[in-house]
Amino acid sequence: MNDVLALSGVKQAALIREGQISSEELLEAHRAHIARINPSLNAVIALTPSDSAARGPFEGVPFSVKDSIQIQGQACTAGTLGYRTAPPASKDAALVSRLRSAGAIPIARTNLPDLLFAFESDNLLFGRTNNPYNFSRTAGGSSGGEAALIAACGTPFGLGSDAAGSVRLPAHYSGIASIKPTSGRLDRTGHVPPAGGWIEMIWQIGPMARRVEDLIALMPILAGVPIEGLPPKNLAFFTENGILAVDEATRRTVREAAKALERIGYRVEEARPACIDQSYDLEMKILGPDGGDALRAFADSIGSDRMHPLFEGWLAKLEPYRTDLAGFARYWTELDRFRAEMSAFMTNYDAILSPVAAFPAVPHGASIDDAIFPGYSYTMTHNMTGWPAAVVRCGTSASGLPIGVQIAAPPRREDAALKIAHDLEEALGGWQMPAFLFT
């Protein structure tokens, strides 16, 4: 059964259709496995009752859901004290409903940071989630519970959300695959906090999985339309964004990924958009033109009278970007110029390969450090552009930590990003089973 748990959702669904395993057996095996691994990981905050499966391509296959995405009959806490007694959701989030319609069954809610604001998953309600490759390291945030659970074979795939890297950074830290779709591509109804305000254009719910074939199968289900286009051919790659240098293992991994793609027929060129060194400041400007006051007011309005130190650290980093209305207008002008320059760069390429972050998984509590935090700018770039960006594991650090590579494509070209990610997975191996599962 452990071999079955390590399969992709696509392959688990095939076993059910072929009669080699029943959905009930598969669900029970995942639940029993979660009971074994969760004391070490603290990735799951609650198991959810299993309903009968609808007919569809993922009939009978379990999935997990970040605890900021509503499941009917379950509370949604967003990891914050103000929602600790939240009533059960009256209906599923739109994307949970779409997965159910495809036959998949939600079985677990997963951990995240306080109101989603940290690059590691730790909060005052449920505590911290550990990285499955090294328990002293974080699994990332804000979709860190999802990443840790999927990496440890707790579910084959799940749903996260991303406003600064929150499905991509945990995938990188935890050695799985994920995609942030084009901003606005997928329905965000049923997310907590809800969509709205000036950050609407930078965030998106996205799927996470051990294997890229699941992401390829999930995207049309989630979007409600086919996801397809011409095969990508021309690629740019870079290893430094001019904000924070990456470590040597990350640099080597990106270069090896570029060489692997070149060997199988892609045209690959080392090139970097000139404006990309603005990514960090632009993300912070769009998130914090009020110095974080809107976030503080929202937390206060729902009764979160205390916030996790990592959230407080985020707010402190937003304070230097406080401005007035005229300053906010300048921020948007800068953002428009940045998006135009990035689009002009892409006239010559079908996708860009880059690091996901400056380092592999960092120790618990370190993500907010000034020497580390700007390294998350590699994902912020594509929240600013709104482009789809996928992540797949392509390497391993000397200490055994996963290293992912980010693949960004033009708007609505999720197919291109995922095709390249799949080719990299086949060439370089992708997900590897964490050693603790063998013991």
Clarify whether 166 is annotated catalytic.
yes
Separation CA 431–CA 94 (nearest Å): 28
Clarify whether 66 is annotated catalytic.
yes
Separation CA 284–CA 268 (nearest Å): 31
Separation CA 192–CA 68 (nearest Å): 5
Separation CA 77–CA 74 (nearest Å): 10
Query: Hey, what are 62's tokens?
Result: 């379990």
Beta bridge partners of 209: 157, 177
Give the CA angle between residues 30, 31, 37 to the nearest 5°. Answer: 85
Taking the CA atoms of residue 376, residue 381, residue 384 and residue 388 in that order, the dihedral angle to the nearest 10 degrees is -110
Beta bridge partners of 271: none
Identified catalytic residue from 8, 64, 161, 166: 166
Neighbours of 127 (CB within 10 A): 12
Separation CA 312–CA 118 (nearest Å): 9
Identified catalytic residue from 142, 161, 279, 397: 142
Query: What stretches of 28-95 adopt beta strand conformation (E)?
Result: 44-47, 62-66
**Cβ contact 151:132 at 8 Å:** yes
Separation CA 76–CA 147 (nearest Å): 18
Residue among 81, 38, 58, 61 at smallest CA distance from 302? 81
Separation CA 271–CA 223 (nearest Å): 31
Identified catalytic residue from 66, 180, 285, 419: 66
**Cβ contact 391:172 at 8 Å:** yes
Separation CA 157–CA 146 (nearest Å): 8
Task: Indicate which residues carry an active-site annotation.
Answer: 66, 142, 166
